Amino acid sequence: DTEVTQTPKHLVMGMTNKKSLKCEQHMGHRAMYWYKQKAKKPPELMFVYSYEKLSINESVPSRFSPECPNSSLLNLHLHALQPEDSALYLCASSQDQRLAGRNYNEQFFGPGTRLTVL
Amino acid sequence: RKEVEQDPGPFNVPEGATVAFNCTYSNSASQSFFWYRQDCRKEPKLLMSVYSSGNEDGRFTAQLNRASQYISLLIRDSKLSDSATYLCVVNIMNSGGYQKVTFGTGTKLQVIP
Protein backbone atom coordinates (compact mmCIF):
# COMPACT_ATOMS: atom_id res chain seq x y z
CA ASP A 1 0.00 0.00 0.00
CA THR A 2 1.79 3.15 -1.21
CA GLU A 3 -1.06 5.50 -0.53
CA VAL A 4 -1.30 8.57 1.64
CA THR A 5 -4.88 9.59 2.35
CA GLN A 6 -6.15 12.98 3.44
CA THR A 7 -9.51 14.14 4.67
CA PRO A 8 -11.47 16.19 3.94
CA LYS A 9 -10.86 16.85 0.22
CA HIS A 10 -12.37 20.31 0.48
CA LEU A 11 -12.99 22.55 3.47
CA VAL A 12 -14.63 25.95 3.74
CA MET A 13 -14.35 27.67 7.09
CA GLY A 14 -14.94 31.04 8.65
CA MET A 15 -12.24 32.97 10.48
CA THR A 16 -13.68 32.05 13.88
CA ASN A 17 -14.04 28.31 13.20
CA LYS A 18 -11.90 25.48 14.50
CA LYS A 19 -11.30 22.58 12.14
CA SER A 20 -8.81 19.77 11.65
CA LEU A 21 -7.14 18.20 8.63
CA LYS A 22 -6.25 14.52 8.78
CA CYS A 23 -3.58 12.45 7.05
CA GLU A 24 -2.91 8.72 7.21
CA GLN A 25 -0.29 6.37 5.77
CA HIS A 26 0.30 2.65 6.21
CA MET A 27 3.69 2.31 4.57
CA GLY A 28 5.56 2.11 7.87
CA HIS A 29 7.12 5.51 7.20
CA ARG A 30 8.49 7.32 10.24
CA ALA A 31 8.53 10.85 8.79
CA MET A 32 5.39 12.83 7.99
CA TYR A 33 5.13 16.31 6.53
CA TRP A 34 2.66 19.16 6.17
CA TYR A 35 2.98 21.52 3.21
CA LYS A 36 1.01 24.56 2.10
CA GLN A 37 0.71 25.27 -1.62
CA LYS A 38 -0.69 28.40 -3.22
CA ALA A 39 -1.65 28.50 -6.89
CA LYS A 40 1.29 28.47 -9.33
CA LYS A 41 3.79 28.17 -6.45
CA PRO A 42 5.79 25.18 -5.18
CA PRO A 43 4.82 23.46 -1.94
CA GLU A 44 6.08 25.29 1.17
CA LEU A 45 7.19 23.09 4.04
CA MET A 46 5.32 23.79 7.30
CA PHE A 47 6.04 20.97 9.74
CA VAL A 48 7.84 17.64 9.86
CA TYR A 49 7.37 14.85 12.38
CA SER A 50 10.06 12.22 12.80
CA TYR A 51 9.21 9.17 14.92
CA GLU A 52 6.15 11.06 16.18
CA LYS A 53 8.20 14.03 17.41
CA LEU A 54 8.15 17.47 15.83
CA SER A 55 11.50 17.85 14.09
CA ILE A 56 10.95 20.90 11.91
CA ASN A 57 8.62 23.89 12.34
CA GLU A 58 9.20 26.44 9.60
CA SER A 59 8.10 29.38 11.76
CA VAL A 60 4.46 28.66 11.08
CA PRO A 61 1.90 30.91 12.86
CA SER A 62 0.35 29.39 15.98
CA ARG A 63 -3.10 29.34 14.38
CA PHE A 64 -1.79 26.13 12.74
CA SER A 65 -1.19 23.38 15.29
CA PRO A 66 0.17 19.99 14.19
CA GLU A 67 -0.31 16.73 16.03
CA CYS A 68 1.05 13.24 15.44
CA PRO A 69 -1.00 10.79 17.54
CA ASN A 70 0.88 7.75 16.22
CA SER A 71 3.25 6.75 13.45
CA SER A 72 0.45 6.43 10.87
CA LEU A 73 -1.56 9.57 11.59
CA LEU A 74 -0.91 13.27 11.25
CA ASN A 75 -3.36 16.05 12.04
CA LEU A 76 -3.31 19.77 11.44
CA HIS A 77 -5.57 21.77 13.74
CA LEU A 78 -6.77 25.10 12.40
CA HIS A 79 -8.07 27.99 14.48
CA ALA A 80 -8.72 31.66 13.72
CA LEU A 81 -7.37 31.42 10.19
CA GLN A 82 -7.15 34.35 7.80
CA PRO A 83 -8.36 34.48 4.18
CA GLU A 84 -4.71 34.43 3.02
CA ASP A 85 -4.41 30.95 4.54
CA SER A 86 -6.63 29.63 1.77
CA ALA A 87 -4.50 27.10 -0.11
CA LEU A 88 -3.98 23.42 -0.89
CA TYR A 89 -2.63 21.63 2.19
CA LEU A 90 -0.57 18.59 1.34
CA CYS A 91 0.55 15.78 3.59
CA ALA A 92 3.51 13.56 2.69
CA SER A 93 5.49 10.74 4.24
CA SER A 94 8.95 9.26 3.79
CA GLN A 95 10.82 6.33 5.31
CA ASP A 96 13.08 8.14 7.70
CA GLN A 97 14.01 11.80 8.06
CA ARG A 98 17.10 11.11 10.13
CA LEU A 99 18.95 9.24 7.40
CA ALA A 100 20.54 10.61 4.27
CA GLY A 101 20.04 8.70 1.08
CA ARG A 102 17.50 8.54 -1.67
CA ASN A 103 15.37 5.68 -0.42
CA TYR A 104 14.83 7.19 3.00
CA ASN A 105 13.80 10.58 1.69
CA GLU A 106 11.55 9.82 -1.28
CA GLN A 107 8.26 11.44 -0.36
CA PHE A 108 4.79 10.18 -1.13
CA PHE A 109 2.07 12.80 -1.15
CA GLY A 110 -1.60 12.64 -0.34
CA PRO A 111 -4.13 14.31 -2.69
CA GLY A 112 -4.39 17.35 -0.43
CA THR A 113 -7.15 19.33 1.25
CA ARG A 114 -8.28 22.42 -0.59
CA LEU A 115 -9.01 24.98 2.11
CA THR A 116 -10.99 28.17 1.67
CA VAL A 117 -11.16 30.67 4.54
CA LEU A 118 -13.98 33.17 4.30
CA ARG B 1 20.14 33.68 -4.10
CA LYS B 2 17.35 31.14 -3.58
CA GLU B 3 18.36 27.76 -2.17
CA VAL B 4 16.95 25.85 -5.14
CA GLU B 5 16.25 27.55 -8.45
CA GLN B 6 14.57 26.50 -11.66
CA ASP B 7 13.62 28.27 -14.87
CA PRO B 8 9.83 28.66 -14.47
CA GLY B 9 9.21 28.32 -18.21
CA PRO B 10 6.81 27.60 -19.72
CA PHE B 11 8.65 25.33 -22.09
CA ASN B 12 6.40 24.77 -25.10
CA VAL B 13 7.68 21.84 -27.16
CA PRO B 14 6.19 19.76 -29.99
CA GLU B 15 5.40 16.09 -29.49
CA GLY B 16 8.44 13.94 -30.05
CA ALA B 17 10.92 16.65 -29.07
CA THR B 18 13.67 16.32 -26.50
CA VAL B 19 13.58 18.83 -23.65
CA ALA B 20 15.95 19.42 -20.74
CA PHE B 21 15.47 21.22 -17.45
CA ASN B 22 18.12 22.33 -15.00
CA CYS B 23 17.88 22.99 -11.30
CA THR B 24 20.63 24.76 -9.36
CA TYR B 25 21.16 24.52 -5.62
CA SER B 26 23.17 26.81 -3.40
CA ASN B 27 24.35 24.56 -0.57
CA SER B 28 27.25 22.28 -1.47
CA ALA B 29 26.41 20.01 1.49
CA SER B 30 23.12 18.94 -0.13
CA GLN B 31 22.78 15.19 -0.02
CA SER B 32 19.73 13.85 -1.86
CA PHE B 33 18.10 15.01 -5.06
CA PHE B 34 14.77 14.23 -6.67
CA TRP B 35 12.51 15.16 -9.54
CA TYR B 36 8.74 15.32 -8.99
CA ARG B 37 5.99 16.10 -11.46
CA GLN B 38 2.82 17.89 -10.55
CA ASP B 39 -0.26 18.00 -12.72
CA CYS B 40 -2.66 20.91 -12.43
CA ARG B 41 -4.60 20.79 -9.15
CA LYS B 42 -3.02 17.47 -8.19
CA GLU B 43 -0.39 16.44 -5.68
CA PRO B 44 3.32 16.14 -6.58
CA LYS B 45 4.35 12.63 -7.59
CA LEU B 46 7.90 11.28 -7.44
CA LEU B 47 9.28 10.99 -10.96
CA MET B 48 12.78 9.81 -10.12
CA SER B 49 15.55 10.08 -7.59
CA VAL B 50 18.85 11.41 -8.92
CA TYR B 51 21.87 9.16 -8.52
CA SER B 52 25.41 10.52 -8.37
CA SER B 53 26.31 8.56 -11.49
CA GLY B 54 23.19 9.64 -13.36
CA ASN B 55 20.21 7.42 -14.02
CA GLU B 56 17.68 6.65 -16.67
CA ASP B 57 14.09 5.47 -16.53
CA GLY B 58 12.62 4.94 -19.96
CA ARG B 59 12.49 8.30 -21.72
CA PHE B 60 13.72 10.18 -18.64
CA THR B 61 17.36 10.76 -17.69
CA ALA B 62 18.51 12.53 -14.55
CA GLN B 63 22.03 13.84 -13.95
CA LEU B 64 23.80 15.37 -10.96
CA ASN B 65 26.73 17.73 -11.29
CA ARG B 66 28.10 18.34 -7.80
CA ALA B 67 30.95 20.56 -8.98
CA SER B 68 28.57 23.04 -10.58
CA GLN B 69 25.76 22.33 -8.11
CA TYR B 70 22.96 21.48 -10.46
CA ILE B 71 20.73 18.58 -11.39
CA SER B 72 19.13 18.07 -14.77
CA LEU B 73 16.20 16.18 -16.24
CA LEU B 74 16.11 15.16 -19.88
CA ILE B 75 12.87 13.99 -21.47
CA ARG B 76 13.15 12.29 -24.85
CA ASP B 77 10.32 11.76 -27.35
CA SER B 78 7.94 14.06 -25.45
CA LYS B 79 4.33 12.94 -25.13
CA LEU B 80 1.26 15.07 -24.58
CA SER B 81 0.93 13.36 -21.20
CA ASP B 82 4.29 14.79 -20.13
CA SER B 83 2.68 18.24 -19.84
CA ALA B 84 3.02 19.15 -16.17
CA THR B 85 5.12 21.19 -13.77
CA TYR B 86 8.45 19.57 -12.91
CA LEU B 87 9.76 20.25 -9.42
CA CYS B 88 13.27 19.54 -8.24
CA VAL B 89 13.80 18.72 -4.58
CA VAL B 90 17.03 18.95 -2.61
CA ASN B 91 17.62 17.52 0.86
CA ILE B 92 20.24 18.64 3.33
CA MET B 93 20.96 17.58 6.88
CA ASN B 94 20.16 20.41 9.28
CA SER B 95 21.95 21.21 12.53
CA GLY B 96 19.45 19.07 14.43
CA GLY B 97 20.39 15.96 12.46
CA TYR B 98 17.27 15.89 10.31
CA GLN B 99 16.92 15.95 6.54
CA LYS B 100 15.40 19.26 5.48
CA VAL B 101 13.51 19.33 2.19
CA THR B 102 13.59 22.27 -0.19
CA PHE B 103 11.49 22.44 -3.35
CA GLY B 104 12.54 24.36 -6.41
CA THR B 105 10.13 26.83 -7.94
CA GLY B 106 9.10 24.40 -10.66
CA THR B 107 9.33 24.38 -14.46
CA LYS B 108 6.15 24.20 -16.50
CA LEU B 109 6.22 21.98 -19.58
CA GLN B 110 3.56 22.10 -22.27
CA VAL B 111 3.83 19.50 -25.03
CA ILE B 112 2.01 20.64 -28.15
CA PRO B 113 0.43 18.29 -30.74
> pLDDT tens digits, residue range A75-93?
999 999 999 999 999 999 9
C-alpha closest to that of B34 among B83, B96, B86: B86
Phi, psi (degrees; rounded to nearest 5) at B99: -75, 120
Helix (H, G, I), strand (E, B) or coil at B93: strand
What is the structure's pLDDT at A1?
A: 59
Chain A within 8 Å of B45 (Cβ-Cβ)?
A: yes
Chain A within 8 Å of B111 (Cβ-Cβ)?
A: no
Average pLDDT of adjacent 10-residue blocks, chain B of 113 residues: 88 97 93 95 95 93 95 98 97 88 95 97
What is the structure's pLDDT at A2?
A: 63
Tell which of A109, A114, A115, A116 to mutate to test the B interface (max B CBs under 10 Å).
A109
Determine the distance in angstroms separating the CA of B26 from the nearest CA of chain A, rounded to an integer.
18
Chain A within 8 Å of B80 (Cβ-Cβ)?
A: no
d(CA A36, CA A92): 11
Helix (H, G, I), strand (E, B) or coil at A66: strand
B46 burial via Cβ count (<10 Å: 0-12, 13-18, 19+): middle
List of chain A residues with pLDDT < 70 = 1-2
CB atoms A98 and B94 under 8 Å: no
